[in-house]
Copies of this chain bind each other. A is one copy, B any other.
Amino acid sequence: MNTARGSSPATPSPSGPRRTPTAAPGAGTKGVPRARREAQILAAAVEEFGRHGHASASMASIARRVGVTKPLLYTYFGSKDGLYLACLEHIAHRLVSAIEGAMEPDPHGAGPAASRVPPRVLAAVFDVLEEQREAWFVLYDRTLKPGSDLHRAAHAHRAAIDGLAASGTADVLRGQGNQDPLDADALKHLWTGTVGALVGWWISHPEQSAAEMTARCARLLAAIRAPH
């Protein structure tokens, strides 16, 4: 998988199969710097957690994917929950930044027209998720046990995104004279669920680029809103 090495300027000579006598085969010889390994592990963990959910994901499987062994994950991230939290923060931060950028891109003058916001947000999300589409479902992991620390943490990180969604969806209802707070909450949930559904479709169509997804979703949103 990862044959890449050569972190330091002095790359170990790849000349021959020089192996030490009496030693375990290839123990401690990788020498990948910690920062790079952590990034690799994080990427593998995001994919694994996103695909199977926290409970079903296995540390050994993540380690195998990276090409290392379990104890390394524990020395770097402490525990399974620690690794999960790291994934959570990583992906939440990237998504929040991207969505914030998509919702207020025009500091001079009024913000973008309300009806243009959803496609912009989708474009931003797809751009962030292009190389890690499963990441969305790390944040929106339905299998976390309610009441657990992990559930609270995921909920807290979702709240940032949900807040942005709420500020966008509230206008829609206000324009209708609807002030029911439960309607607003449900519509917010509906929006994030819609994004999740679209990401789910994207995962099952890997050949689609982020740009293609953005264009397709613009068509679909328009079609839904058109009278028929």
Contacts and interface: CB of A to CB of B under 8 A. Distances in A.
B228 A115 contact: yes
Interface stretch (A66-74, A99-107, A183-191): A183-191
Interface string A164-201: 00000001110110101011011101101110111011
A30 interface: no
A64 interface: no
Interface size class of chain A, counting residues whose CB lies under 8 Å from the partner chain: 35 or more
B172 A224 contact: yes
A143 interface: yes
Contact of A178 (B142, B143, B193, B219): B219
Given A172-B224, A223-B176, A197 B200 contact: no
Contacts of A137: 142
Given A193-B200, A200-B193, A182 B143 contact: no
Interface stretch (A2-10, A13-21, A51-59): A51-59
